[in-house]
Structure 1
């Protein structure tokens, strides 16, 4: 499955139609249906008629389905104002393009950008009767918050944001014996097949990360880590670059780890989206990875647009020593 294409463009010619459809559907759901954008309230009509002006200070993302020429979905990440948290608004996917992962892809990118801004939380509002979007937001870790909008049936939700940052070789060394080793030990203890057998000693895990630090210093491997509000590392992912002259266009995703206490908040998706964006920005055109067949990680990769290239039986032992099948995945960039 090819991934949806996400782009930032508040001036895209397709955007007025998407925002207009969003507002018309929203008014109809509230029992206030109008026949055209021209009949919308001034603030909503302004967004649909001139989104570039309405969202001049904000981030507007569009999603184009695989094989399509035009975007079929959008979302707006409102910039923080007057000390308030960034807010996600106007998530919309056309009816014919739903069930294809566009809403998830838009949310993943919006959350990645909100996290990259350094904001501690991101917020949104959703009508209580919108069960499907509400289920998506809950699955991403949004929780009920004190209301900042007193309209009846409007739910206010917030999500704490782990800050995702690229680690220098020095930072990898500094975190090797504690945070990074802890993530690796937690993964093995939880049954993840990540190259180690259980029980994994902290010293062995730390030694592995020290070798990673050397690879980072040599430019062979890049490392990103997620940090919670308390400063604790909650996730990590690495990108290994191919040294062969005929393979410099590709890279490998390795050791995508999220601590068990931080799962269910969309952090794995954010880490994956971060490394994919960096890979594309630095000229890589193809990414590969492998994961234990049937593992929860497969749902993450498939949902992010990765394609299965096949399965190898008895490829690697799980932490308990049992041989398991491994599935290879790839993703084209750009």
Structure 2
């Protein structure tokens, strides 16, 4: 399901969403109240005047395609905390929560926040599972309430590149990434020596795919703005396969390895897939390559090995392992 995200603190539907969030939370705590007027003062103030309560924050609203009003909300604070994530019960299971979290992470990343954090009640198991799928990990608690779990996702500057950005970098940083990977022995579809013009042409074709909406490119830059890592997410164009996607061309420059960037790129691609409503991802990689450790650690399952599937950069046929990961 496609989801439209907007930032608005004054939307007329926001007070009802916030009130529903707080009423449900109070009931789960064993302190049910009959209506918004019975909420604790701070929570009641949020529901009555969100624009004032969240004047320094970004309030995100999610509307499913075809719907006439938002059915979900979330708040992103200036220091990178996501809170008040709520989806109306009738709209759950349609990717609204994932889309909101993904957009919040993107905005925090663009703002230069080093990490996004959130807290979730231990009993909210579906929400906890969602956060973990989107790359959040448990950290030491900053809240004394015993049933509250605190999670964090470190940001490595990973964000989606626009088609124009891909074209602008096709002959520069993106080509350099491919050539560095091939020179280092990575089996990513090219042979040595990789001609710069060939690499740039491939990236320009990727930009066209991004424009058509069939491939996303997520890139990471260093402090000087240079691209040091990239991954692409390809969506199936088959009518019976629109629930799945493929991770392809996960590349980290050799000078930037050892910092967890590969894991960050993979998590970002998986989060994008969740936000798009995909339920299954696949990929293939050279058997016994270092990449296999990354995928296994990230929860991917090996489906099998195909002998002599693809040539390595030197032209020698090598076996390939197929992997999958279910996101639902």
For 1:89 and 1:16, the matched residues in 2 are separated by 15
Q: Unpaired runs of 5+ in structure 2?
A: 234-245, 252-261, 284-308, 312-316, 318-328
- 1:114 maps onto 2:108 in alignment: yes
- Picking from 209, 225, 245, the partner of 2:199 is 209
- Picking from 139, 146, 154, the partner of 1:160 is 154
- Paired residue for 1:227? 220
Q: CA deviation at 1:141?
A: 0.7
- Paired residue for 2:60? 61
Q: CA deviation at 1:211?
A: 3.6
Q: Tell me if the contact between 1:6 and 1:62 (Cα under 8 Å) persists in the aligned partners.
A: yes
Equivalences, count: 255
Q: CA deviation at 1:201?
A: 3.1
- Paired residue for 1:8? 7
SS in 2 for 1:114: helix
Q: CA deviation at 1:236?
A: 4.6
1:129-278 equivalence runs, <5 A: 129-163=123-157, 164=159, 167=165, 171-176=169-174, 178-181=176-179, 189=187, 196=189, 200-201=190-191, 203-204=193-194, 206-211=196-201, 225-227=218-220, 233-236=228-231, 257-259=249-251, 261-262=263-264, 264-267=266-269, 269-270=271-272
Q: Tell me if the contact between 1:225 and 1:236 (Cα under 8 Å) persists in the aligned partners.
A: yes
TM-score, normalization: structure 2?
A: 0.64
For 2:182 and 2:62, the matched residues in 1 are separated by 34
For 1:134 and 1:182, the matched residues in 2 are separated by 38
For 2:218 and 2:20, the matched residues in 1 are separated by 38
The verdict on how the C-alpha distance between 1:94 and 1:168 changes in structure 2, with shifts beyond 3 A counting, is closer
Q: CA deviation at 1:46?
A: 1.0
Q: Tell me if the contact between 2:15 and 2:47 (Cα under 8 Å) persists in the aligned partners.
A: yes
The verdict on how the C-alpha distance between 1:184 and 1:87 changes in structure 2, with shifts beyond 3 A counting, is farther
Q: Tell me if the contact between 1:237 and 1:257 (Cα under 8 Å) persists in the aligned partners.
A: yes
The verdict on how the C-alpha distance between 1:89 and 1:256 changes in structure 2, with shifts beyond 3 A counting, is farther
Q: CA deviation at 1:215?
A: 8.7
Q: Unpaired runs of 5+ in structure 1?
A: 81-85, 191-195, 239-253, 277-293, 298-317, 322-334
- Paired residue for 1:24? 23
For 2:134 and 2:36, the matched residues in 1 are separated by 32
Could you list the per-position Cα deviations for residues 64-94 of structure 1 after superposition, in whole angstroms to 9, with x for gaps in the alignment? 12322111111111112xxxxx111111100
Q: CA deviation at 1:24?
A: 0.6
| Structural RMSD (CA) | 4.1
SS in 2 for 1:158: strand
Q: Tell me if the contact between 2:133 and 2:271 (Cα under 8 Å) persists in the aligned partners.
A: no
- 1:75 maps onto 2:74 in alignment: yes
The verdict on how the C-alpha distance between 1:116 and 1:170 changes in structure 2, with shifts beyond 3 A counting, is same
Q: Tell me if the contact between 1:236 and 1:258 (Cα under 8 Å) persists in the aligned partners.
A: yes
Q: Tell me if the contact between 1:15 and 1:51 (Cα under 8 Å) persists in the aligned partners.
A: yes
For 1:51 and 1:205, the matched residues in 2 are separated by 56
- Paired residue for 1:296? 282
Q: Tell me if the contact between 1:257 and 1:268 (Cα under 8 Å) persists in the aligned partners.
A: no
Q: CA deviation at 1:235?
A: 2.3
The verdict on how the C-alpha distance between 1:12 and 1:131 changes in structure 2, with shifts beyond 3 A counting, is same
The verdict on how the C-alpha distance between 1:105 and 1:143 changes in structure 2, with shifts beyond 3 A counting, is same
SS in 1 for 2:6: strand
